[in-house]
Chain A
Amino acid sequence: MKTNKLINILLSGLLVVFVFGGCTSDFEEINTNKRVLAELDQATIGNVYAATQFNGLMQGWDFQTSQNLFSDLYSQYYSNWQTKFQTDRNVLNRDWLGGAWSGFYGQAGKNMEVILDATDPAVSPGLEKQYALAQIWKVFMYQRITDYWGPIPYSQVNNAENTVPYDSQQDIYADFISLLDAATTMLASYHGENAYGTNDQIYGGDVDKWITFANTLRLRVALRISKVDPARAKTQAEKAVADGVMETNDDNAIFQTSGNENTGGWNALCIMLPWNEFRMSASMESVLKGYNDPRLSAYFQPAVNDGEYRGMRNGLSVVQISEPQRHYDNISTMSPRWATYANIGKTPVEVILASEAYLLRAEGALKGWSMGITAEEAYNKGIEMSLEYWGADAATIAAYQQSMATPAAVSDFDSPPMTNIPVKFGSDPATQLEQIITQKWLALFPDGWEAWADRRRLELPKLYDIMVSDNPDVPVGQIMRRVGYVPGEMATNKEALDDGIVKLGGPDKANTRLWWDPPLK
């Protein structure tokens, strides 16, 4: 009897153990993270779109490893002052580029597809405006990326697979035009309406402004492909102008910043400037000073030590950087607009300006395209828009447009003037083109992405050679044609990358030309 009782006790004890051991009723509740949303509700799409604007502009922590250490130097807006940074000497630092690549795809690229999936009219009718605005923004941000590398993952981004195929740049550009077609067609039914509201940090959701933006972007795309596909370029450019591109500074696309470095939404230059890593380039000094350009003080500030505006040459060796006359206090940094940390959430980021639209039309007109304006008119309008945007008055603008001043000699390495063209529109097409692109270079500042693309396409402006090249593929006298693929892709997407290099049509090096960049005849 005693034994039976004991066995009963034991069994009941064990039963209790098994019951509590297997008690899993609260497991799913416990394993739910209440600090995140598990689903994207409609109200959240706008927040994702807002993030995509910020990240698509590469203003996050990847600003330095994408724009600042590459295109900003290859367009010679700045010269590098950090002895340990080699990209100004044409070295392809693929590790840094990896930061740019994953910064783009890991944020903007990913979230763009999230938005397109969530607003696809075939799936979620009623969100057509949101869908169209996302399509336009997609073109804007991917153009920068393909113009860096060439073939990139594009059509199958967000496939959640172990391999993401690369698309050729030709196909990507064709899709840009399709997307712009689709978006503008769709938006045509929504004139005067709003999408995304205050989540749109550029136009506050104004659909009409976005239509103008899309047309201007089409014009930009058209000129980019003008060397490789002139017929299509002409059609697209003329369609863009006919549909209406930016004409006044009210049309400008300008990203309004917010927050601080602990949040998002800021102007990355305001974070970077106190690091003292880059300074005004000699090319900028030669042109801005020679032209007595009103934008000089808008872009830069005098050197701390002697109050002079002074730039320095690009591609300096470590030894040259270390020379005392190039100490950062002897060279101009950017103007307080960017060089003041407190402006991090105040200084806006220029996306596309009306000045660029006119200068694109000037180049088109020079080609004989129907741009609704002559090359000279467009050139002068471009200058006017840019100077007006940067605060010059009408008299100053008029004087500048007629100026015969030419770029100045630069004290750094006793450099002669960068080029000899004046501001006043010239008479021969070669001078005119150089003037248009030089003024576009000035007007695009500080958008190195676009300026470097022009430099590759046209070998303009006639920037100084770098002093030293540490990359035998791109010696002094030649220019960087692209950047290299990144270690992350070699590690995680090798097969697709190899196909991408085939589509590139040359080795994965800095001197391999992109599809839209065949050598000038």
Chain B
Amino acid sequence: MLFSAFLAVFVHSSSMAQEHKVTGTVISAEDNTPMPGVYVVIKGGTTGTTTDANGNYSVNVPGTDAVLFFSFIGFVSQEIVVGTNPVLNVTMEPEFTQLGEIVVTALGIAKEKKALTYAAQTVDAGALQESRELNAINALGGKVAGLDLMRSNAGVGSASRVVLRGNRSIAGNNQPLYVVDGVPIQNNTFMQTYGEGGGLTSSDGISNINPDDIESLTVLKGASATALYGTRANNGAIIITTKKGISKKGIGLEYSLNYSIESPVILSKFQNTYGQGASGIYQPVQEFDWGPPLDGRQVEHWTPDVNSPKYGTTYSFVAHPDNLKDFFQNATNVTNTLGLTAGSENVQAYFSYTNTNSKGIIRNNELKRHNFNLRITSKLSKRLSADAKVTYYHHQINNRVSTGDDFYNPMRAILRQPTNISTEEAQTYEYFDNSGFRLQNYWNPHSNGGENPWWMINRIPAKETRDRVLGMASLKYELMDGLSIQVRSAIDYASDAYAQQSYTDTYTIADRGNFRTYKSLNYELNNDLLINYNKTFGDFSVNVSAGGNLLTQEWLNTSVNAGSLLKPNLFTFGNAAGLSASEDGATKKLNSIYGFASLGYKNYLFLDLTARNDWSSTLPPENWSYFYPSAGLTWVISDMIKSLPAFLTFAKVRASIAQVGNDTDPYQLAPQFTFYQGGANGYASRGGTQPATDLKPEITTSKEIGADIRFFQNRLGIDFTWYRSNSKNQLLGVSLPVASGYNSKFINAGNIQNTGVELVLNGTPIKGDLTWDISVNWATNQSLVVKITDEMKSYPLTGRQWMTTTIVREGEEFGLILTKKFLRNDAGRVLIDPNGKPLVSDGQTEPGGTYNPDWIGGITNTFTWKAFDLQFMIDFRQGGMIYSFTEANLSSDGFSDYTLEGRDGFVVDGVMASDGSENTIEITSEAYWQHLGGRNTPTGEPYGYDASNSRLRALVLGYTHNFKNFPLRNLRISLEGRNLFFLYNKAKYVDPNLASGNSNVQGVEGFGLPSTRSIGMNLRLTF
């Protein structure tokens, strides 16, 4: 239907307007050398090009009144009226800020940054490529005001969680929409877990994008910026523009190599004074370090292998403080990228291939990744141009690291290895009994929850693969000067597979072996049409667009689990003692039409208006159509009033208001009776969610004001934004009393209010041979739960976790953490029970802070001297809480250093609950920490830490050399370090910026991998 719509337009067209070709060379004022890669775009349009390796460009403009923008990171952008001259050479002046920069906004429309009515921050693609991380999006941390980035701790290929301007959705997704070359892409996480319970968290969709293909990346934070993307951009959008081919002679080639080594940053502190056992008694089967002193006494060896020479012998009872360190290896990342560009006047191609090989700090945790990208842009006729792109992505991740209290998590095993057991001996993780069965060599055979950590990384092999194809094709036809129509079709297809084999004798979880597979297919098709009209009438400029989008999403998940194996260690489904399979899937359609108008007056006053209507298949018929508008105004004071003081270079103020609607998941409207295996004929059960028959779309309303002021010829600039968003009618699956027959029902409720301030400060304190640029960003956001419903004052974000429950509660900040705390008297003294132990709350009922930071920020300093540059970035995250389930376990098992205190007895500071008298009853630290910690419902209070921290996030030292008259035109080599050290970390035992998974449940970690310190080099050769 879409294509025929295009044809209809195409056939009818008979415009004869004069097209005009402009060519030229762009050179740098710095050294008068040609500048490749300069972005050349027709103002107000969606077409543009980049200069070739020799700084040449060629572009067809609609007429002589067309305006070309020239833009390059680090240089003053220029705006030039084409006129009649077919040759337009441009000299670019370096600058530290991007005044006059072109920003690619919603629907791929290029806009002058000064005309924007909302905050947008662009990040240099170089930041993604140098000092790189496996997940390109991680490079944004600390760089963008109001962007809160949390990494998850699942080893190589971990997902991240990006939140712009605070959490606003109670039950849904809080991450932004990613848009690549004008088309939204999926950012789903195939397997997702949360909190201290843990499990597997896969890579996220955005990590599939190759940083080497990225030309520029713009963060659109507010609803105003993203109103045109609708529903899915409710949380802001990150707009990625990828590279295109350029017209030039011969083939341009770029090669880069990135190599880095990572080492774990171990923050847990262990005691090395006491060994395995309980109550001071050595017991080889214990998984605690509450045993006798490690004084070198001879103790019975632990191995259950009767054929081992160690069996029945004794060994020296001494500490092995490096057990954890020895368990890890240094991680390595090697990335090779080859980029090719070629092009004639009418057809340009860009091809790239990137190969990534990573080894994690956990042995056998590996990632292999291939990115292929081919993009062809062409001018099919004078007025018809085409843009087509195919991206193929493949990864294989071996032995993805499970998180939290999941029994598959190897961290859980190594952290709990008694210190008297040496790595060397533990590394003999298996043996064969007399009948030839492979058995685990472990100190507590058949333990419930304990395993030999080396068995876990060798005998529970898992393989995860993802294949993803992103395809895009668009055709654009210029009907007449300033009027164009574009049709585009884009597909995003991803196939995920996970297969895990557990060898027989993997205690509790797979005593009899196990083989399981998960598969997932995700498909998204976007068809859109955009009509754009762009014209200047005297003092007024008009840019109007209208269009529509048809979105289809489909997913299918299947899992097959061989519960136990008949023949040990033969991993086929035919060998299953009990086989179960499940399947789930859904389809969703979202149809949209939208319109957009930007009106300019004398190039200093701009008014933006947008409107969008969505039709979502997930909502009931009476509510499936919903409309939402936005409006914004920008006033560039410095362009209007020419008599401003000389020190004031640029000043603008802006204001906007916007609404964005949101729908829900498929299949919420009808009752559901499910069937499952059991009994003679199967079991049936009614679903737990009460069908919602009158759901309304969710609406977020945002207001934003801001100012952008620059002084002293751009040596100093301040960008300030204040915003407030209110998300109402949220679709909540609210909990019902389970006796009502339903666990939950969907209602429209809530008013989550996010209010915040963002500040970006840029300065150039020193300019000359040595230049020092400094960029500071700072943001604070408060997420306030204004209301849930009249009756409902609080709402859980998920089910109960071992140690914490995260809820939203009226009148409080979003993401309140409930946990168990000490009971205290009015004077705040801890109450003590008759046994001398502190009394704690019965359940997770006590508020223990939120996970939201009070503020986040970053400082980036860049020094350039001749061909050298040095950049370092410090990030900050202040406030919020992090609860450590790891410490709750390490302390109760006697591993933490602080458990040394009171081993022979101490008196807990507190008063007797019975009569208020001072506590005098002595208990051991063993009794104390076992009372508070442990796996089952530990008391969170002693394990909750202030998450404030700051660290040297990145350091890059680079050298660039330009060659003249040599095939190699440019060489850049840089040394880089990431996550080098903490300036401070109040949560001393954990890295508070690492999360268990990327869901809405944050503020708690459980047996996570430590963060890593990385040091590497990057080499880039341009031919």
Contact = CB atoms under 8 A, between A and B. Distances in A.
Contact of B794 (A35, A101, A109, A491): A491
A106 B512 CA distance: 31
A72 B47 CA distance: 74
Interface in B735-784: 735-743, 745
A492 B679 CA distance: 33
Choose among B8, B511, B588, B684 the residue with the greatest number of A CB atoms under 10 Å from its CB.
Answer: B684
Contacts of B679: 47, 50-51, 53-54, 198-199, 201, 258-259, 264-265
Interface stretch (A11-19, A127-135, A404-412, A459-467): A11-19
B32 interface: no
Contacts of B791: 162
A503 B59 CA distance: 83
B615 A21 contact: yes
B78 interface: no
A47 B684 contact: yes
B806 interface: no
A490 B793 CA distance: 12
B845 interface: yes
Given A5-B14, A322-B279, A24 B683 contact: no
Interface stretch (A153-161, A382-390, A415-423): A153-161
Contacts of A152: 739
B926 A319 contact: yes
A198 B681 contact: yes
B479 interface: yes
A308 B305 CA distance: 24
B670 A40 contact: no
Nearest to A113: B741
Contacts of B745: 160
Contacts of A17: 5, 529, 546-548, 593
A274 B743 contact: no
Nearest to B737: A493
Interface in A3-50: 5-6, 8-10, 12-14, 16-18, 20-24, 26-28, 30-33, 35-40, 44, 46-48, 50
Interface in A453-491: 470, 472, 484, 487-491
Q: Is the interface of A mostly helix, strand, loop or mixed?
A: helix
A102 B512 contact: no
Nearest to A114: B686
A185 interface: no
Interface in B929-962: 930, 934-937
A275 B407 CA distance: 13
A496 B740 CA distance: 12
Interface residues of B, number: 111
Q: Which residue, B548, B585, B688, has most C-beta atoms of chain A within 10 A?
A: B548
Given A6-B480, A153-B737, A30 B680 contact: no
Interface in B144-170: none
Contacts of A12: 8-9, 12
B844 A28 contact: no
A17 B924 CA distance: 75
A82 interface: yes
Interface string A477-521: 000000010011111110010000000000000000000000000
Nearest to A153: B739
B853 interface: no
A327 B446 contact: no
B678 A259 contact: yes
B591 A106 contact: no
B381 interface: no
B868 to A, nearest CB: 54
Contacts of A259: 578, 677-679
Interface string B573-606: 0000111100111111101110000000000000
Interface in B880-928: 892, 913, 926-927
Contacts of A169: none
Contacts, number: 319
Interface stretch (B175-183, B248-256, B618-626, B1011-1019): B618-626
A274 B673 contact: no
Contacts of B588: 30-31
Contact of A51 (B577, B624, B672, B684): B684
A27 B579 contact: no
B294 interface: no
Nearest to B582: A262
B811 interface: no
B485 to A, nearest CB: 6
Nearest to B805: A487
A322 B740 contact: no
Given A110-B686, A113-B741, A93 B448 contact: no
Contacts of B398: none
A9 B673 CA distance: 51
Given A95-B800, A199-B679, A327-B285, A31 B617 contact: yes
Contacts of B796: 491
Interface string B651-684: 0000000000000001101111111111111111
B694 interface: no
Given A54-B679, A95-B937, A110-B686, A487 B278 contact: no
B511 A274 contact: yes
Contacts of B124: none
Given A9-B12, A198-B681, A199-B680, A94 B737 contact: no
Interface in B448-479: 448, 479
Contacts of A48: 673, 683-686
Contact of A14 (B546, B613, B738): B546
A21 B592 contact: yes
Contact of B448 (A164, A258, A275): A275
Contact of A162 (B561, B586, B624, B740): B740
B681 A46 contact: yes
Contacts of B937: 93, 95-96
A20 B2 contact: yes
Contact of B844 (A44, A95, A201): A95
B1 interface: yes
A98 interface: yes
B670 A27 contact: no
A41 to B, nearest CB: 9
Given A35-B585, A39-B671, A159-B741, A488 B735 contact: yes
B845 A490 contact: yes
Contact of B508 (A38, A274, A484): A274
A13 to B, nearest CB: 5
B740 A102 contact: no
A277 interface: yes
B690 A160 contact: yes
A160 B721 CA distance: 46
Nearest to A106: B738
B283 interface: yes
Contacts of B742: 110, 160
Contacts of A33: 586, 666-667, 670, 672
A341 B563 CA distance: 11
Given A37-B684, A261-B578, A327-B283, 4 more contacts: A17-B5, A22-B625, A33-B667, A95-B844
27 contacts: A6-B15, A9-B479, A31-B667, A35-B584, A37-B672, A37-B675, A47-B683, A48-B673, A54-B683, A82-B448, A85-B936, A95-B844, A96-B936, A98-B800, A152-B739, A157-B740, A158-B740, A159-B740, A162-B740, A198-B680, A259-B578, A259-B678, A259-B679, A319-B926, A327-B283, A472-B833, A492-B738
Q: Which 10 A-B pairs have the closest CB atoms?
A: A264-B678, A260-B578, A262-B580, A263-B677, A158-B741, A493-B737, A322-B278, A51-B683, A153-B739, A47-B684
Interface of B: 1-2, 5, 8-9, 12-15, 278-279, 281, 283, 285-286, 288, 446-448, 479-480, 483, 485, 508, 511-512, 529, 531, 546-548, 550, 561, 563-564, 577-580, 583-589, 591-593, 613, 615, 617-618, 621, 624-625, 666-667, 669-688, 690, 735-743, 745, 791-792, 794, 796, 800, 833-835, 837, 842-845, 892, 913, 926-927, 930, 934-937
